[in-house]
Amino acid sequence: MEGDKPSTVMCRVVAMDPRNFCYSVCSACERTLAHPENSSSGPSICKFCDFKAFNPGSSGSKRLYRILLSVASETKVFVVICFDRAARVLFGCSADEFFHFAKLNPFAAVTAGKVLEGEMFRMTLSKPKNGNAQHLRVASVVPLSSGFCPAIETLRKLYGVGAGAGAGPS
């Protein structure tokens, strides 16, 4: 069928899973940190670099996006996984920024999903290298609407924060 080469499809976002939109990695080596979000026992530490030992005062971790999107192509509806680089196009900010925004605005992730719903994108999808991964991953994403507004911009307008920051509508 599609082979192992990345394929490019036009698709529309049907839904976004707002529950786990990011994960923590070591800010030095970007390995996934074992502890999930909101562990109140303090930031997890990378066992490979022991980052804190070299950078006291730094948390040693940062967040990257990992978003499950349900998308519809001409012929089918399927789930893709969107990692940091592609997700930034959709969200318009880093996962850390969005995480903090979502802390202040608890429904931000849900609303972001609603904002992206129905948007058309040209997505380059690749087969996961990891045989256990079940979803195609989004290698790149290009909005098809010239009026596309990254989710965070729409959210800032909705919630009335950060007005005037970033690019305004043309």
Q: Which residues bind Zn ion (CB under 5 A)?
A: 26, 28-29, 46, 48-49
Nearer to Zn ion, 17 or 96 (CB): 96
In the complex, the smallest distance separating the C-beta of residue 47 from Zn ion, rounded to whole angstroms, is 8
Nearer to Zn ion, 28 or 110 (CB): 28
In the complex, the smallest distance separating the C-beta of residue 29 from Zn ion, rounded to whole angstroms, is 3
In the complex, the smallest distance separating the C-beta of residue 102 from Zn ion, rounded to whole angstroms, is 25
Rounded to a whole number, what is the distance in angstroms from the first to the last CA of the chain? 42
Provide DSSP, 98-157: HHHHHHHSTTHHHHHHHHHTT-EEEEEEE--SSTT--SEEEEEEEES-TT---HHHHHHH
Nearer to Zn ion, 8 or 32 (CB): 32
Tokens 């307008």 map to which residue? 157
In the complex, the smallest distance separating the C-beta of residue 111 from Zn ion, rounded to whole angstroms, is 33
Picking from 103, 142, 70, the residue whose alpha carbon sits closest to that of residue 95 is 103
Nearer to Zn ion, 47 or 103 (CB): 47
